[in-house]
Amino acid sequence: MVEFTLERNLVLLVDDEIDILNLFKDVLNVNGIDARTFTNPELALEELEGNHAKYKLVISDIRMSPISGFEFIKKLRDIDPRIKVVLMTAFEIEASQLKEVHTDEFFNKPIEIDKLVQLVKRYVGSP
């Protein structure tokens, strides 16, 4: 009998800007990285509650509704603290705010596409 092991290899993208999500997802997919997208962080949490073992990395915007990226990450950590977290924003942010939610990395939007791919590959590896 052949056993299959479930490998964490999915990336979850959360941003209220659909154009950014589509661009990031397309770029990652072209580079062999499977990504799921959500414009609503509460729906993303529902996905994670049932499927957290599939995800290795979450990239989330900070300014969203109905909950902020900070609130989203705190709830994500309750679901599965092993998932790596990268926060992004187009706005200035205090370093102390990032430390409160224990992010693995942070970047400002816009980000160069090749830098995005390199960042994600650091966490999920190359296909």
Q: Which of 112, 111, 106, 68 is nearest to 86 (CA)?
A: 106
Q: Where do the domains of the chain lie?
A: 11-122
- In this prediction, residue 1 carries a pLDDT of 47
Asked whether 108 and 22 are in contact (CB, 8 A), the reply is: no
For residue 89, with 0-12 CB atoms within 10 Å meaning exposed, 13-18 middle and 19 or more buried, which class applies? middle
Per-residue pLDDT 10s for the chain (127 aa) are 444 445 789 999 999 999 999 999 999 999 999 999 999 999 999 999 999 999 999 999 999 999 999 999 999 999 999 999 999 998 877 777 767 777 899 999 999 999 999 999 999 986 5
Span 11-122 CATH architecture: 3-Layer(aba) Sandwich (3.40)
Q: Rounded to an integer, what distance in angstroms lies between the CA atom of residue 1 and that of residue 13?
A: 36
Tokens read off for 108: 């400002």
Start-to-end CA distance of the chain, whole Å, equals 26
